Chains A and B, each alone.
Chain A
Amino acid sequence: MIEIENVHKSFGDLKVLDNVSLTVKKGEVVSIIGGSGSGKSTLLMCINGLEPIQSGSIRVDGIEVHAKGTDINKLRTKIGIVFQQWNAFPHLTVLENVTLAPRKVLKKSKAEADAIGRKQLEHVGLGDKLDVYPSKLSGGQQQRMAIARALAMEPQYMLFDEVTSALDPQLVGEVLDTMRLLAKEGMTMILVTHEMAFAREVSDRVAFFKSGKMHEIGTPEQIFGNPQRPETAQFLASVL
Chain B
Amino acid sequence: MFNYTFHWRPAIQALPQMLGGAVVTLQIAVISMIIGILIGVVLAVMSGSSSKILRGIAGTWIEIARNTPALFQIYMAYFGLGQFGIHLDSFVALLSGIAFNNAGYLAETFRGGLRAVPATQVRAARSLGFGPISAFRLIVLPQMFRAVFYPMTNQMVWAILMTSLGVVVGLNSDLTGVTQELNVKTFRTFEYFAIAAVLYYLIAKAVTLGARAFAYRLFRY
Q: Which residues of A contact B (CB under 8 A)?
A: 48, 50, 73-74, 76-77, 79, 81, 83, 85, 87, 89-92, 100-101, 104-106, 133-135, 146, 149-150, 153
Does B128 lie within 8 Å of A76, measured CB to CB?
Answer: yes
Does B121 lie within 8 Å of A87, measured CB to CB?
Answer: yes
- The answer for the CA separation of A85 and B121 in the assembled complex, in Å, is 10
How far apart are A86's CB and chain B's nearest CB, in angstroms?
Answer: 8
Contact digits for B117-156, partner A, Cβ 8 Å, 1 yes 0 no: 0101101111111110010001100110010000000000
Does A150 lie within 8 Å of B128, measured CB to CB?
Answer: yes
- The answer for the CA separation of A153 and B121 in the assembled complex, in Å, is 18
Does A105 lie within 8 Å of B130, measured CB to CB?
Answer: yes
Does A74 lie within 8 Å of B129, measured CB to CB?
Answer: yes
- The answer for the CA separation of A90 and B131 in the assembled complex, in Å, is 19
Does A77 lie within 8 Å of B129, measured CB to CB?
Answer: yes
Does B134 lie within 8 Å of A50, measured CB to CB?
Answer: no
The 3 closest A-B pairs by CB, nearest first: A87-B124, A133-B221, A101-B128
From B130, B142, B219, B221, give the contact of A101 (CB < 8 A): B130
How far apart are A133's CB and chain B's nearest CB, in angstroms?
Answer: 4
How far apart are A131's CB and chain B's nearest CB, in angstroms?
Answer: 10
Residues on the B chain within 8 Å of A87, using CB: 118, 120-121, 123-124
Residues on the A chain within 8 Å of B118, using CB: 87
Does A76 lie within 8 Å of B127, measured CB to CB?
Answer: yes
Known: A76-B127, A77-B128. 7 other contacts (CB 8 A): A76-B126, A77-B129, A90-B221, A91-B221, A105-B128, A105-B130, A106-B129
Interface membership of B9, Cβ < 8 A: no
- The answer for the CA separation of A91 and B120 in the assembled complex, in Å, is 15
- On whether A135 and B221 interact (CB within 8 A), knowing A74-B129, A91-B146, the answer reads yes
- The answer for the CA separation of A84 and B183 in the assembled complex, in Å, is 67
Does B128 lie within 8 Å of A83, measured CB to CB?
Answer: no
- On whether A73 and B131 interact (CB within 8 A), knowing A91-B142, A104-B138, A135-B221, the answer reads yes
Does A89 lie within 8 Å of B121, measured CB to CB?
Answer: yes
Residues on the A chain within 8 Å of B125, using CB: 89
Count, A-B residue pairs, CB within 8 A: 60
Closest residue of chain B to A133, judged by CB?
A: B221
Interface membership of B217, Cβ < 8 A: no
Does B124 lie within 8 Å of A153, measured CB to CB?
Answer: no
Does B130 lie within 8 Å of A73, measured CB to CB?
Answer: yes
Interface membership of B185, Cβ < 8 A: no
- The answer for the CA separation of A74 and B128 in the assembled complex, in Å, is 9
Residues on the B chain within 8 Å of A135, using CB: 221
Residues on the B chain within 8 Å of A76, using CB: 126-129
Does B128 lie within 8 Å of A149, measured CB to CB?
Answer: yes
Residues on the B chain within 8 Å of A104, using CB: 130, 134, 138
- The answer for the CA separation of A169 and B130 in the assembled complex, in Å, is 33
Residues on the B chain within 8 Å of A81, using CB: 127
Residues on the B chain within 8 Å of A48, using CB: 127
- The answer for the CA separation of A50 and B127 in the assembled complex, in Å, is 7
Q: List 24 A-B contacts (CB under 8 A).
A: A50-B126, A50-B127, A73-B130, A73-B131, A77-B129, A81-B127, A83-B124, A85-B120, A87-B118, A87-B120, A87-B121, A87-B123, A87-B124, A91-B142, A92-B221, A100-B128, A101-B129, A101-B130, A104-B134, A105-B128, A105-B130, A106-B129, A134-B221, A153-B128
How far apart are B202's CB and chain A's nearest CB, in angstroms?
Answer: 32
- On whether A73 and B129 interact (CB within 8 A), knowing A87-B121, A89-B124, the answer reads yes
Residues on the B chain within 8 Å of A91, using CB: 142-143, 146, 219, 221
Residues on the A chain within 8 Å of B219, using CB: 91
- The answer for the CA separation of A87 and B126 in the assembled complex, in Å, is 12
- The answer for the CA separation of A146 and B124 in the assembled complex, in Å, is 9
- The answer for the CA separation of A48 and B125 in the assembled complex, in Å, is 13
Residues on the A chain within 8 Å of B142, using CB: 91
Closest residue of chain B to A86, judged by CB?
A: B124
Residues on the A chain within 8 Å of B139, using CB: 89
How far apart are A161's CB and chain B's nearest CB, in angstroms?
Answer: 11
